[in-house]
A and B are shown apart, each in its own frame.
Chain A
Amino acid sequence: MDEFFRMPSDLQHSYLGLVGWHLEEALVPVLAGLLLSLPLAQLCVRFPRLYPPVLWTTTVLYAVPSLAFFVLLIDWTGQSEVTVMIPLALYSLVVLVPAIVDGVRSVPEETHAAATAMGFGPLRRYLQVELPIAVPAVFAGLRVATVSSISLVSVGALIGNQGALGNLLADAMSYHRPELAVTSVATTALLAVAADALLVLCRRLLTPWSPDRRRRTAAPRPAAVPAAPAVEEAR
């Protein structure tokens, strides 16, 4: 069993060190992507004509292989983890921007009108009404972005062992230690599942107002209410 967790010395990391590094390389880009997506999505909501070109651009960026990004970036950022994280952040935009746009657009027209009529200015309305109501949709996007980012980090192994757990795959071949590949794949999968579960938990805590399945049985809606389209998690 020890064989699975005995790390080759060229990696300069313990197993747990690799896990921590992997998480950092995966999650920092998602966070950066979120910070970039929020204003970008808001622009798309305010100026709907902007949305198609923005969507098109994020899709094209997503289609660029990471190796191509590495070739472009290596002149500036070298064989570093930043080189790995920049493409990952750009990739996350393809899910986050539409998720936030859809979330903000999901605010019911009458809720939007009521907020305006009560004297909310545009910024206050965005922060206090639109964004909170968009939380379930934003989290649906975050879950996809996070899981995909966690799996994509491994490719950093191509630029001088910058792939955290992915580096184990290369070493598995160099040192003929297939168990390292198992460790790499199993740990990455586990991290993805755990991160996803954590995001679901966060969303539940942030949206006590959302009628999800568990709550619906606890507090049934009176029959007189037309079933409002529930904001479902994108699975």
Chain B
Amino acid sequence: MKNNPVIKQTSFLLIPVILLFGLYVQFHGDYSPGGGFQAGVIFASGLILYALIEGQAKAEQVFSMRLARILSASGLLLYAGIGVASMFLGANFLDYNVLADDPLQGQHWGIFWVELGVGLTVTSVMLSIFYAFTNFK
């Protein structure tokens, strides 16, 4: 199946679009349906499609298992870090109002970074689980 030219060409046509759509869902989640969870899953499925077509060795050159583990932890850390940052700035945990001079701007930044943390964690967790299954013999 891997050498089927139709599947291969169609996938190569689709993968960039899937990845771009994942980024759109990630960064446009404030204005349209979507957010970190959905974006992470979409981005991961683009990479998984690449792994299925080109084999896992090539996929790990793009997004290695090690990178996935580091990013999954740092996404969660980024989320919690935003909460701690707002505590240091004198507000409650995860109260974004104090992150900028204007409370609304602070909310905007807080949501942006928090959603980015969610997206990073979800992408790399989905990939790690997929890698773990395909590596398992």
To the question of whether A and B form a pair in one complex, the answer is no
